[in-house]
Structure 1
Amino acid sequence: MRNLFLGASAACLAAFASSAALADEGMWTYDNFPAAQVKATYGVTLDKAWLDHVQANAVRLSTGCSASVVSAQGLVLTNHHCVSDCAQDLSTATSDHLKTGYVIANREEERTCPGMQAEVLLSIKDVTDTVKSAASGKAGGEFVKARNAAIADIERTNCAGKEAVQTCQVVNLYQDGQYKLYTFRKFSDVRLVFAPELATAFFGGDPDNFNFPRYDLDMSFVRLYENGKPVATPGHLVWNPAPPKDGELTIVAGNPGTTNRLLTADQLAFLRDVSFPMTLTQLAELRGRLIEFGKRGPEQQRVASHELFGIENSYKVYVGQLQALSGPGFLDGKRQADAELKAKVAADPKLAAATGDPWAKIAAVQTERAGLYAPYVLLEGRAGFFSPLYGYAVELVRAAQERAKPNTERLPEYADARLPLLEKEITDAKPVDKDLNQLQIEFWLLKVREVLTADAPQTKLLLGKDSPETIAARLAGSTLADPAVRKALWDGGLPAIQASKDPLIQYVLATDGAARAARKAYEERVTGPSGQAAQKIAAARFAVYGDKVYPDATFSPRLSYGKVAGWTYRGQTVPYATTFKGLWERATGQDPFALAPRWEAARGKLSDDTVFDFVTTNDITGGNSGSPVLNAKGEVIGAAFDGNIHSLGGAFAYDGSINRTVVASTAAATEAFVKVYGQQALVDELLGKPFKKGGR
């Protein structure tokens, strides 16, 4: 399927004709799951007890991934690429866990993942009226400020005194249509238990990414600890090692990252014409620089490999999404859907009077947005281009400045409820390669000069009379790679920041005003007006379609339902599953189709017909990585790790005939853990057998 063009299908365009979800479509919140629709379609009853059990064991990771509790001792299943940062951080020049895997003998060898936090949803509370009333009558930047202040106060009040064990987050749903307070139980001590080799988890590399057939064991495990001991989780999800059955019901419980299905046609056109082309150009160039960096030597190749994986993955996602938006008739279908909703609103005089014409307001905003977008992205959104040291400097400076303000007057990411995780991410020890960090800062400054031009005041502020290369080399002298330095600056607050002689801290203090100004302008002229208009559209959509509408993804807990199923596209039928036999046939001995040594040694030990990976019709997107795939009994039968090439258009619409979720099966994992990795204790734990001292 690697060469099939990703385009908008007739079914996908037809989905625009109504905002009500189609069968198998939707990333549903726990408090609005369409159990009746599942019953009607699949004959399976998923009652409140079933949903509560899943909710209590579905995990959100601060790495931007999903996971699930699968044993009585706090064992958590996720994807390899969700813990690859951790594996990289725990590696050294002589111990490369991405290359050889993280395979240990007992719990004493489980090591803390720096900066990682796990969260489990406890409750959902509607706070829409409180947030909307706080921002009522305000416009532009004042609207954003009032909304953020209300959210910060709600989060602080509801978690007051419980910050050590809980996180409170107000989740924006339906493009400012609803606000819900999500309260999570958090775990700050998350330790790596098992990770296969990158060559195994990502067998087939970029050529196979977002494609199927797949032969990847993209599974890893971490464990939740508290007070130095594994957390007791007796009500965990059950691990089912049986293979999936074609056509059986599947539920995915995860945290889908971002979709744009509720945007207007004008907003989508902006993504197609302005946002995506700029992003793709910059990612492509950065990818080339990382590849060249990796050619300097084995250590450079090691430290750059994870960054390169992320860039290549993002690049492919944006390519697929741009192709979907550019497909024949795609935006025409969205304009038709917008027109249908407008017509239904116009047919109800009372609703029409309350709604006005928010579509026209959003269209007008896009003109403003075009001029503000590049400065906002380069100075704020992607400033530093993933440089960890620059990121530390900005967070330290802004946290010190914002913490000096009342909670409700801060930038939202520095509100009281967000500070514990931010402090952990800043102060936990993580290795930093200074040469790679220098490359990232240099690339960022080159893009600022190229896109904003050398004459722009922001460029002059950032560069002065120096070149990007000169400044990046000077900033390489920063001491922020030392966690003790970061800890001292965090604890010392604004006085420590102002007194610091660190070149990166000084640089951010001198230049961050330009980034704040770009952000303020964007919020006043884009975010604020768009949010107000979106509230009107959301209210109209609720009035017309009721609760049959699901919200766009926001990296918050969701459920999707579907079934195990292959697909047919342009006359080519793709079976629903692959097997170990297919892996041996696909292996060539050359990257990215080279087997890890353990797997070469296991030839003949594994059953050829064991299901390796499979696909389902579940509606997912980025952020769902690591999500448990459950059967009707709520048992884990796999971990979602990818989508097929058609699913990339799922950012804007879902087509159940060809959109597929790609899943690593528990059947393959159970067999491989024992026969390839010698991890019998891990399998025993997954199957609920008694814990033996010295094991897991």
Structure 2
Amino acid sequence: MKKLLLSLMCLCSLGAHADEGMWTLYNLPNAIFEQMKQYGFQLPMDQLYQSDNAVKNAVINFGGYCSGVVVSPDGLVFTNHHCGFECIRSHSTVEHDYMLNGFIAKSYAEELPNEDLFVSFMVEQKDVTDSLNSLGLSSLPVEKVSDFVDSVENAWSKSIRQQDSTLRVEVKPFYEGNKYYLTTYRDFEDVRLVFSVPKSMGKFGGETDNWMWPRQTCDYSVFRIYADPKTNGPAKYSKDNVPYHPKSWAKVSMDGYKPGDFAMIMGYPGSTSRYLSSYGIKERHDAINAPRVQVRGVKQEIMLRHMRADEAVRIKYDSKYANSSNYWKNSIGMNKCIDSIGLIQQKQEFEMRLRQWQEETGYLKGQLDFDKMAELYQKRLALTRVRTLFTETFLAQDQLSARAWKSNWGMKVEGPEDQPKKQYIQFDDNSEEWDEATDKEMLAALLKNYRTQMTNADYLPAFYQTIDKKFHGDYTAYVNALYKKSQLMKNGKPIYVNKKSYQKDMGVQYGLDLTELLAKIGADRKQLSYDIAEQEKWLCAAKLRMEQDLPNYSDANFTMRMTYGQIGEYTLGGRPSGYYTTARSLWEKMQKADDNFEYFAEPVMHELLSAKDYGKYSDPLTGTLQLCFLSNNDITGGNSGSPIFNGKGELLGLAFDGNWDSLASDIFFDRQLARTINVDVRFMLYMMDRWGHADRLLKEIGVQ
């Protein structure tokens, strides 16, 4: 009986559910839309994707790594604070610390431009699998597919730009490469910082509360899209650009929510692996997550210690530390969930069913081979652990390593082509971005740690021989010499690349040794990875055929997706979680700042969050200011900043996190435990009003 129940659990868990799935919009299954209506969605289907004022038209790709939403007729954008983190940091100095103290632009003129930041609007999407197959895709070996698709994408991009120079296209694989979709985008490259709450609110709770519930973080920042004044279209940054005027934007809801209310999130989820085999999950657990946790723990301890000792260092490393620690903690939680729910065993039992179905039907006989897949993964496991240790240790973790990589990979060489000895590279002075003492200690510790963790001497970079012979195993002495003697650490001075002194340079040799080893790791894994990818493709195809009567969504790949569900809590160990947090709960945590610095908040925040009257920002049912709330939507990294809508398509807030109890959701959606943590738009507006006194923005949004 226990085995039968486990098998049924596996079948249900791996199929599609009403509140599971990251659905593409242009081909949304009718069965899914009907379920949305039963949950409380009130708009016609064309209001999702097709019409001029479709909900998707307000949703943006923010910077190529997050999501966001347009909330005004003048191009105002809401995204998460942690999505705007690096932009806020880049404008911060010790004298004007916008990261620590927040930022408020009182006028358009004060809004701050951000180099290399862009936002993208999805124009349309379509299936181009048949077109690619007609051009020869289906006859190619797996190792040639990527280059072929890239070449076709380039040709199609050129064609569409000839019709409209503001558009670009992407062709991406879906369903593990069994399908290919073409997505058309319009990019805006002039995006300016408008408003940010202080770090005490935007990152309240820090790593203590990251991935945890209950949550009180006011995780949002505000930007504005600027456009060509003549065309209202995309333009490079110019002081003459004007606020962008979209055809439609998201209306803010002040009505709140209650348990069971419809909730829909649109955004750009980055990557999931729901179709991944049991062998792939074991590799993720043992060879990716575990070593990532170990290495990041070493460098984060050093970063945090230096950050807490010096405000200037904190500004430089805030964003780096946050980026590192986010998926450090995610990897810890994912492995915990994989173990606690027995996910590998569940997948194995599902694969037994699939294998039996294949034997009965003959589908993909001679292609999908479970024994071959197991053998391939077994061969690659140790190599994957090597790659994880290498990339987590050496891939631009410190300034010397960053420059060493850059000097080997595509850095522009200046100087006359006919005079090789006068050709040079040059590094700008970026000392405001890093601290020498922090970087040197971190690199020395990582070098030592890599050697301790690496059991196969074939994957030790050659410079370890130098450390042993010339520096007698002293990693600190080696690192000090690198930073002191290497030409790579010159700022603003030519470094002549064809002179003997360059070839003998310690830092240059360090980079060459790393480049050679990375190439070896890649070569050792290459064919195994091609063969595994092909088996995973056939595994997905078999699942889709066996479940052809069910709607199935593709894994996330940073294309726009919609996920729907309901507002509500979850129960763990017989204890209900509650589905929202209040201003009072935040104020109570603030009182613990002496014991935990991540609960610090300025006196004004104590005053604002202990108010007796929150005015129009109070919830009509509870009468208090609600801060964050739970929904059972299906999200992952990249969804940060995604708008969460009610049944009328109105904005309830922004998604910003998942919960600790379901951190295996990238590979398994637990319907009972998986929850999205959202920041309430009324909390956001309250901070804009009572702290920021941003009357012009509130008026623009339409709440004043």
TM-score (norm 2): 0.83
The size of the alignment, in residue pairs, is: 644
| 1:202 shift after superposition | 2.3
| 1:564 shift after superposition | 1.0
Structure 2 counterpart of 1:539: 541
Q: Deviations over 1:639-677 (max 9, x none)?
A: 011122223121222222221111111122222211121
Structure 2 counterpart of 1:306: 319
Within the candidate set 573, 579, 596, 2:602 is matched to 596
- Aligned residues of 1:272 and 1:326 also touching (Cα < 8 A): no
Structure 1 counterpart of 2:330: 317
What secondary structure is seen at the aligned counterpart in 2 of 1:626? coil
* Root-mean-square deviation (Å): 3.4
Amino acid at match of 1:157: A
What secondary structure is seen at the aligned counterpart in 2 of 1:238? coil
Supply the distance in 2 between the matched residues of 1:324 and 1:151 (Cα, whole angstroms): 36
Q: Deviations over 1:497-516 (max 9, x none)?
A: x9999975665356423212
| 1:344 shift after superposition | 2.3
What secondary structure is seen at the aligned counterpart in 1 of 2:73? coil
Structure 1 counterpart of 2:561: 558
**Superposition pairs of residues 578-593 of structure 1, within 5 angstroms:** 578-588=581-591, 590=593, 591-593=597-599
Amino acid at match of 1:204: G
Within the candidate set 150, 153, 163, 2:151 is matched to 153
> Which has the larger displacement, 577-586 or 443-452?
443-452
Please say if 1:665 is aligned against 2:663: no
Please say if 1:685 is aligned against 2:681: no
Supply the distance in 2 between the matched residues of 1:57 and 1:15 (Cα, whole angstroms): 37
- Aligned residues of 2:203 and 2:217 also touching (Cα < 8 A): yes
Structure 1 counterpart of 2:517: 514
| 1:532 shift after superposition | 1.0
| 1:59 shift after superposition | 1.2
1:460 and 1:308, CA in 2 relative to 1: closer, same or farther beyond 3 A?
A: same
Structure 2 counterpart of 1:693: none
What secondary structure is seen at the aligned counterpart in 2 of 1:217? coil
Supply the distance in 2 between the matched residues of 1:609 and 1:567 (Cα, whole angstroms): 22
Q: Which runs of 5+ in 2 are unaligned?
A: 228-234, 414-426, 615-622
Supply the distance in 2 between the matched residues of 1:203 and 1:400 (Cα, whole angstroms): 39
1:35 and 1:656, CA in 2 relative to 1: closer, same or farther beyond 3 A?
A: same
Supply the distance in 1 between the matched residues of 2:382 and 2:599 (Cα, whole angstroms): 45
Structure 2 counterpart of 1:377: 388
Within the candidate set 637, 642, 645, 1:622 is matched to 637
| 1:561 shift after superposition | 0.1
- Aligned residues of 2:93 and 2:315 also touching (Cα < 8 A): no
> Which has the larger displacement, 226-235 or 41-50?
41-50
- If you compute each CA radius of gyration, which structure gives the higher value, 1 or 2? 2
How high is the sequence identity, in percent, across the aligned residues?
A: 23
Amino acid at match of 2:531: P
Please say if 1:32 is aligned against 2:27: yes
> Which has the larger displacement, 534-543 or 377-386?
377-386
| 1:336 shift after superposition | 1.4
- Aligned residues of 1:12 and 1:655 also touching (Cα < 8 A): no
Structure 2 counterpart of 1:452: 454
Structure 2 counterpart of 1:20: 15
Please say if 1:267 is aligned against 2:280: yes
1:471 and 1:204, CA in 2 relative to 1: closer, same or farther beyond 3 A?
A: same
What secondary structure is seen at the aligned counterpart in 1 of 2:668? coil
**Superposition pairs of residues 157-172 of structure 1, within 5 angstroms:** 157-160=155-158, 162=161, 165-172=166-173
Amino acid at match of 1:160: K
What secondary structure is seen at the aligned counterpart in 1 of 2:353? helix
1:616 and 1:342, CA in 2 relative to 1: closer, same or farther beyond 3 A?
A: same
**Superposition pairs of residues 434-445 of structure 1, within 5 angstroms:** 434-435=435-436, 436-445=438-447
- Aligned residues of 2:39 and 2:565 also touching (Cα < 8 A): no
Amino acid at match of 1:673: M
Supply the distance in 2 between the matched residues of 1:655 and 1:42 (Cα, whole angstroms): 22
Amino acid at match of 1:81: H
Supply the distance in 2 between the matched residues of 1:104 and 1:479 (Cα, whole angstroms): 42
**Superposition pairs of residues 176-575 of structure 1, within 5 angstroms:** 176-226=177-227, 227=235, 228=238, 229=241, 230-349=243-362, 351-353=363-365, 356-380=367-391, 383-384=394-395, 386-387=397-398, 390-391=401-402, 394=405, 397-399=408-410, 431-435=432-436, 436-452=438-454, 455-456=457-458, 458-461=460-463, 464-465=466-467, 468-476=475-483, 507-509=510-512, 511-526=514-529, 528-546=530-548, 548-575=551-578
Supply the distance in 2 between the matched residues of 1:111 and 1:321 (Cα, whole angstroms): 38
Structure 1 counterpart of 2:127: 126
> Which has the larger displacement, 355-364 or 640-649?
355-364
What secondary structure is seen at the aligned counterpart in 2 of 1:534? helix
Structure 1 counterpart of 2:416: none
Q: Deviations over 1:92-128 (max 9, x none)?
A: 1222222111222112121122332222212223233
1:679 and 1:660, CA in 2 relative to 1: closer, same or farther beyond 3 A?
A: same
- Aligned residues of 2:200 and 2:601 also touching (Cα < 8 A): yes
What secondary structure is seen at the aligned counterpart in 1 of 2:82? helix
- Aligned residues of 1:176 and 1:534 also touching (Cα < 8 A): no
| 1:134 shift after superposition | 5.0
1:151 and 1:440, CA in 2 relative to 1: closer, same or farther beyond 3 A?
A: farther
Supply the distance in 2 between the matched residues of 1:510 and 1:281 (Cα, whole angstroms): 23
Q: Deviations over 1:588-626 (max 9, x none)?
A: 051322323331343437526022211111111121111
Which fold has the larger relative contact order, with Cα–Cα distance below 8 Å and residues 6 or more apart in sequence? 1
- Aligned residues of 1:71 and 1:688 also touching (Cα < 8 A): no
- Aligned residues of 1:15 and 1:22 also touching (Cα < 8 A): no
| 1:50 shift after superposition | 2.5
1:171 and 1:456, CA in 2 relative to 1: closer, same or farther beyond 3 A?
A: same
Supply the distance in 2 between the matched residues of 1:253 and 1:428 (Cα, whole angstroms): 40
1:673 and 1:375, CA in 2 relative to 1: closer, same or farther beyond 3 A?
A: same
| 1:681 shift after superposition | 1.1
- Aligned residues of 1:71 and 1:686 also touching (Cα < 8 A): yes
- Aligned residues of 1:191 and 1:222 also touching (Cα < 8 A): yes
**Superposition pairs of residues 8-157 of structure 1, within 5 angstroms:** 14-17=9-12, 19-33=14-28, 34-42=32-40, 44-52=42-50, 53-62=54-63, 64-129=65-130, 143-144=142-143, 146-157=144-155
Supply the distance in 1 between the matched residues of 2:7 and 2:613 (Cα, whole angstroms): 40
1:76 and 1:462, CA in 2 relative to 1: closer, same or farther beyond 3 A?
A: farther
Structure 2 counterpart of 1:655: 670
Supply the distance in 1 between the matched residues of 2:407 and 2:60 (Cα, whole angstroms): 28
| 1:148 shift after superposition | 1.8
Supply the distance in 2 between the matched residues of 1:687 and 1:30 (Cα, whole angstroms): 28
> Which has the larger displacement, 332-341 or 39-48?
39-48
Supply the distance in 2 between the matched residues of 1:612 and 1:639 (Cα, whole angstroms): 11
Supply the distance in 2 between the matched residues of 1:282 and 1:573 (Cα, whole angstroms): 35
Amino acid at match of 1:558: R
What secondary structure is seen at the aligned counterpart in 2 of 1:649? coil
Supply the distance in 2 between the matched residues of 1:500 and 1:179 (Cα, whole angstroms): 45
Supply the distance in 2 between the matched residues of 1:380 and 1:366 (Cα, whole angstroms): 20
Supply the distance in 1 between the matched residues of 2:636 and 2:659 (Cα, whole angstroms): 11
1:394 and 1:57, CA in 2 relative to 1: closer, same or farther beyond 3 A?
A: farther
Structure 2 counterpart of 1:632: 647
Supply the distance in 2 between the matched residues of 1:536 and 1:248 (Cα, whole angstroms): 39
> Which has the larger displacement, 664-673 or 367-376?
367-376
1:687 and 1:474, CA in 2 relative to 1: closer, same or farther beyond 3 A?
A: farther
- Aligned residues of 1:66 and 1:627 also touching (Cα < 8 A): yes
1:385 and 1:243, CA in 2 relative to 1: closer, same or farther beyond 3 A?
A: same
